[in-house]
Amino acid sequence: MDREKNSYDSLAEHYDVLERDGEKITKKINDFLGSVFKKHSVKAVLDVSCGTGAQAIGLVKEGYKVTACDYSEAMLDIARKKAMGLGLSFAKKDMRSSSYGQFDAVIAIFNVVAHVDKEDFKKTLKNVWSNLKNEGIFVFDIISLEGLKSDQSVRRWYIDTMAENKGVKYVRFTKECLDKNNNLLKVSHKTYVQKPSEQLKKLKESWELQLYPMAELKQLVKSAGFEILNIYDENGKDFGNNTAESAYFVLKKS
């Protein structure tokens, strides 16, 4: 189910400021990917949901051969501008169904798999599997449902971002609500954008993120033909408890 395509098209211009919070997050994730790839002698990487290029661009700079895809043309346009001169091309493709080639590793980073419903998650797993070489690896992350449930902080409207970038000022308000019956995290954003000498603009987006209990996630990936090599938390430590924010799965095609 296509829940959020249009939201990414309209968010693209502001995505890096609002969602990537500068280079620190990007470097942390790319260092993590680099350490996993080194362990598994990865050379050719497919990024099925590259967005504005956070992982793809970083990995190319580290010497990996990267194929970068996403299904939002607006996100790809930003990525293309950022990657000029790097010899990296970007293609519009859907991770649920596209054929890309045979890769040592596939990545879907920043909660991408939660953007589709369970049936489409299964399709994505199957499709990733068929685009991997034998023994190739798939790395994805997802918000931990258990971690979210153990978080007692109030998630009514709050200011989650105040930022300024190249003269453009941003204030973003966020509300998060977990539908416990369906394990759906509903996130609403209202963002005020002030460009110099322009009227204040208000952007509204809402997202429904499909989360899973850890036991179900393990079952889903195994049913798709993957072996679980490791599950890490957001700090690259073993995912050992119920309070981690995110789970990073490292899977092997078996």
CB 175 within 8 A of CB 204: no
With CB under 6 A as the contact rule, the residue among 42, 45, 46, 54 that binds ligand SAM is 54
Cα–Cα distance, 112 to 124 (Å, whole number) = 11
Q: Provide the 8-state DSSP code for 182.
A: T
Q: For residue 103, state whether it binds ligand SAM (rule: CB under 6 A).
A: no
210 binds ligand SAM (CB under 6 A): no
Task: Choose between 94 and 176: whose C-beta lies nearer to ligand SAM.
Answer: 94
Q: What are phi and psi of 68, to 5 degrees?
A: -115, 125
Beta pairing, strands 65-70 & 90-92? parallel
User: Quick one: how far is CA 141 from the chain centroid?
Assistant: 7
Q: How far is the CB of 112 from ligand SAM (least distance, A)?
A: 4
Q: Which residue's CB comes closest to ligand SAM?
A: 51
- Span 61-90, contacts to ligand SAM by CB under 6 A: 70-72, 75
Number of CB atoms found within 10 A of residue 201's CB: 10
Please tell me the distance from the alpha carbon of residue 162 to that of residue 192, in angstroms, as a whole number.
10
Q: Return the range that interacts with ligand SAM (CB under 6 A); candidates 45-53, 144-152, 155-163, 188-196.
A: 45-53
- 49 is a contact residue toward ligand SAM (CB under 6 A): yes
Q: What are the residues binding ligand SAM (CB under 6 A)?
A: 8, 20, 48-51, 54-55, 70-72, 75, 94-96, 109-112, 115-116
